[in-house]
Amino acid sequence: MGLADNLRASAEAGLAKATEVANTGQAKLDAVQAKRRADGLLHDLGAAVWAERCARVTEADNAKRVDRIAEDLERYESDYGALPS
CB 60 within 8 A of CB 28: no
Average pLDDT, the chain: 89
Whether 11 has a pLDDT exceeding 90, the answer reads no
Residue 36 to residue 27: CA distance in whole angstroms:
14
Q: What is the mean pLDDT of residues 34-54?
A: 94
Residue 85 in this model has a pLDDT that exceeds 70: yes
- pLDDT of residue 43 exceeding 90: yes
For the chain, the domains span: 3-80
